[in-house]
């Protein structure tokens, strides 16, 4: 198997909305055997590098098969060019993916091999078995398992934001330090909603001997597979990784911010080691979604705005809800100069999310926190600490 992917450090946002300051990698592969198969393509942004790598991997041969496991354009942008360049290639994909080729690219391949769960394809020594992975995270997705070397070509599963920086293979220590936050933010914002579907795929994976994960983004996993599987087990069941607190605030003039920062300080003073503070006025909501998956407790602090909720906080809660954040304890700080309407809006929004439990009384600010309110904030901090036990 040959990797033919590329890094993109120029694109500032992914899918038109997620900041990717560390870039992103697009992975694709070629299996060279008696028969040759191309495993997926890449985004248009890295097409020149992809084609250079593909030509080198083919080394003058023409591919016999072309596997399309996922039709999303960041992986399918070169489908039409491959079929045009190699008109005799057999396109191997789910029936839904074959339909999508026409929808996206006006393409009806001449030679197709529609595949479903359990179908196989022999390349020589390598035999691929296809695994349906519906809604991880699109409906047409198929994984491919190579029984010869135990590789699972797993599409967007086990992927990550972040360019590879020349490090194709995941090393647990380096990954934990350098890539875990990007992997968590990728999963929680791209796949997070589909935990039940991920659980089905993990169950299937448990029944086969896998020695390597080859995703379409991020590093290839050829050791410490239990490490990333454990992360996916937490994320897909919405169980927190860490007993800790993320404090997210939106503040117009600094008063709500001051209360949020003081609460974070009190939590640290009371022995809570894992505290994250996010300014939603400056930080994209995807970072809060990721921390909401990571930590057991949320603190949301926001002022009233137009007799409702400050828009950045509203968007952040909507994003958490859309990614099915659940099973969390939450606490609230609400500010209002004449009416703290933000409390009701936040409570109403959180009540629509599954298994969310409020900890402590809502801390109400009238424009700015007063010295005599310090005891009330202490009480909220104590309640949060107790909930972490």
| 174-to-22, 165, 180, 221, 227 alpha-carbon distances in Å | 15, 12, 9, 13, 13
Phi, psi of 295 (to 5 degrees): -100, 155
The residue out of 237, 265, 289 marking a domain boundary is 237
- Determine the pLDDT at residue 206: 87
Q: Are 195 and 119 in a shared domain? A: yes
Out of 215, 237, 259, a domain closes at: 237
Using CB atoms within 10 Å of the CB of residue 253, give its burial: 0 to 12 exposed, 13 to 18 middle, 19+ buried. exposed
Q: From the first residue on, what is the mean pLDDT of each consecutive set of 10 residues in the chain (389 residues)? A: 97 96 98 99 97 98 98 96 98 98 96 98 98 97 98 97 93 87 98 97 92 97 95 98 98 97 98 98 98 99 97 98 99 94 98 98 96 96 98
Q: Coil, strand, or helix at residue 241? A: coil
Same domain, 51 and 99: yes
Both 127 and 257 in one domain: the answer is no
Residue 173, pLDDT score? 77
Smallest Cα–Cα separation from 182: which of 14, 299, 314? 14
The answer to whether the Cα torsion of 364, 369, 370, 375 is positive or negative is positive
Q: Same structural domain for residues 113 and 175? A: yes
* pLDDT for res 262: 98
Length reported for the chain: 389
Q: How much is the pLDDT for 360?
A: 98
CATH code, 73: 3.60.15.10
Query: Which backbone phi and psi does 206 adopt, to 5 degrees?
Result: -65, -15
Residues 109 and 223 in one domain: yes
- Domain shared by 138 and 272, yes or no: no
Same domain, 232 and 267: no
Same domain, 149 and 28: yes
Per the structure, the count of domains in the chain is 2
Residue where one domain finishes, among candidates 184, 212, 237: 237
Q: Are residues 133 and 228 in the same domain?
A: yes
What is each CA distance from 263 to 277, 319, 323, 337, 363, in whole angstroms?
Answer: 10, 24, 27, 20, 10
Answer whether the bond into residue 51 is a cis peptide, omega within 30°: no
Tokens for 23, please give them.
Answer: 């870039």
33/66 same-domain check: yes
pTM score, whole prediction: 0.95
Are 276 and 319 in a shared domain?
A: yes
* Residue 304 near residue 334, CB atoms below 8 Å: yes
- Show the domain range for 233: 2-237
Residues 222, 328 within the same domain? no
CATH number of the domain bearing residue 293: 3.40.50.360
Which strands sit side by side in the sheet containing 151-155, from one edge to the other? 120-122, 127-132, 142-146, 151-155, 212-215
How far apart (Å, rounded) are the C-alpha atoms in residues 206 and 131?
13
């Amino acid at each position: 198997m040959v990797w033919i992917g590329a890094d993109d450090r120029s694109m500032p946002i992914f899918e038109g909305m997620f900041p990717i300051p560390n870039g992103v990698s697009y992975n694709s592969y070629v299996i060279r055997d008696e028969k040759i198969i191309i495993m997926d393509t890449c985004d248009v942004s890295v097409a020149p590098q992809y084609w250079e790598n593909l030509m080198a991997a083919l080394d003058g041969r023409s591919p016999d098969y072309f596997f399309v496991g996922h039709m999303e354009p960041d992986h399918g942008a070169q489908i039409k060019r491959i079929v045009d360049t190699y008109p005799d290639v057999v396109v191997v994909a789910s029936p839904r993916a074959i339909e999508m080729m026409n929808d996206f690219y006006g393409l009806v391949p001449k030679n197709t091999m529609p595949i479903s769960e359990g179908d196989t394809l022999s390349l020589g020594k390598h035999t691929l078995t296809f695994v349906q992975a519906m809604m991880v995270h699109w409906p047409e997705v198929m994984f491919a398992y190579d029984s010869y070397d135990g590789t699972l070509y797993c599409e967007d599963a086990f992927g990550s934001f972040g360019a590879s920086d020349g490090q194709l293979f995941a090393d647990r220590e380096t990954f934990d330090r350098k890539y875990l936050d990007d992997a968590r933010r990728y999963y929680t914002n791209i796949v997070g909603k589909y935990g039940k579907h991920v659980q089905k795929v993990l169950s299937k994976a448990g029944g086969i001997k896998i020695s390597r994960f080859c995703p379409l983004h991020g590093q290839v996993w050829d050791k410490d597979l239990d490490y990333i599987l454990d992360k996916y087990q937490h994320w897909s069941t919405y169980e927190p990784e860490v007993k800790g607190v993320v404090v997210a605030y939106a503040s117009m003039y600094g008063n709500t911010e001051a209360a949020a920062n003081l609460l974070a300080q009190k939590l640290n003073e009371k022995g809570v080691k894992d505290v994250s503070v996010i300014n939603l006025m400056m930080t994209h909501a995807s970072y809060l979604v990721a921390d909401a998956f990571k930590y057991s407790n949320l603190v949301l602090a926001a002022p009233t705005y137009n007799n409702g909720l400050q828009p950045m906080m509203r968007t952040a809660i909507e994003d958490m809800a859309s990614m099915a954040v659940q099973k969390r304890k939450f606490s609230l700080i609400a500010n209002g100069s004449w009416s703290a309407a933000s409390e009701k809006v936040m409570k109403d929004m959180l009540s629509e999310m599954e298994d969310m439990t409020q900890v402590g009384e809502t801390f109400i600010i009238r424009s700015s926190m007063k010295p005599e309110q310090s005891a009330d904030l202490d009480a909220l901090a104590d309640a949060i600490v107790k909930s972490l036990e």
